């Protein structure tokens, strides 16, 4: 997909990776709808700002009607999550935003993309699609669902010519990761890799070395990954 001349909508565009996605789309020559639950929190020139809570069906339908020229949907909005055996309301909220909200956006915008030639959908997933970071199991489950959903949607939307790309990354230097003492990459680098992947027609974008290690571990004994994970978090310790 050629981003120059495209019309994109980015969810969660008020900060972090979403903000950089919207900014870089503008730089690459796209028309951009930047959305957030609090539209006044978006501080970015060159975009059309829309208020949008992706868990609100009425709001999602209104966004699809207002942005009827979109041919690139970027599902970035998401929240962190606690442990599955912790607060059940928190688990449900995580799934409501990260899975159901993302699916709601795709269902609303798939006909829009079809009318506009097919276009592309980008789902911001995570390395947590393939492993669980301690204390964030609900988040991992939701992102595993986003990965699987992306694969399913790629098949279901192939007939209308819509590319579906899932983006997987480790820790980025965003508000969501403030409480974690792990190596973090600049969110601008994540946005750049995601958009490069769309232009290359990639099905999956694996942004960083850690995420590549996580994905490669899926065919191996999970105990070996656990050893590698501990080494990654504590590189000074002997093997």
- Give the residue numbers annotated as catalytic, written as ranges: 139
Contact 214, 165 (CB under 8 A): no
- Helix axis angle for 209-216 and 222-233, nearest 10°, is 160
Burial of 129 (0-12, 13-18, 19+ CB in 10 A): buried
Residue 104 backbone dihedrals phi, psi, to 5 degrees: -60, -40
Strand 72-75 relative to strand 7-10: parallel, antiparallel, unpaired?
parallel
């Amino acid at each position: 997909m050629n981003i120059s001349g495209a019309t994109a909508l980015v969810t969660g565009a008020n900060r972090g990776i979403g903000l950089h996605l919207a900014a870089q789309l503008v730089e690459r020559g796209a028309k951009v709808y930047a959305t957030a639950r609090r539209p006044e929190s978006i501080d970015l020139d060159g975009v059309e700002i829309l208020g949008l809570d992706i868990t609100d069906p009425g709001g999602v339908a209104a966004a699809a009607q207002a942005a009827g020229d979109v041919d690139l949907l970027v599902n970035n909005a998401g929240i962190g999550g606690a442990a599955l055996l912790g607060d059940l309301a928190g688990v449900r909220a995580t799934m409501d935003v990260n899975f159901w909200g993302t699916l709601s956006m795709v269902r609303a915008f798939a006909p829009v993309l079809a009318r506009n030639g097919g276009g592309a959908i980008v789902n911001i997933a995570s390395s947590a699609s393939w492993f669980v970071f301690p204390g964030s199991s609900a988040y991992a489950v939701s992102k595993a669902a986003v990965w699987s959903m992306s694969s399913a949607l790629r098949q279901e939307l192939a007939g209308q010519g819509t590319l579906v790309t899932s983006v997987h990354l480790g820790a980025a230097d965003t508000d969501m990761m403030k409480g974690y003492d792990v190596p973090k990459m600049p969110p601008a680098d994540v946005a750049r890799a995601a958009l490069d992947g769309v232009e290359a027609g990639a099905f999956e974008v694996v942004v960083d070395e850690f995420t590549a290690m996580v994905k490669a571990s899926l065919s191996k004994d999970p105990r070996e990954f656990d050893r590698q994970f501990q080494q990654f978090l504590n590189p000074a310790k002997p093997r």
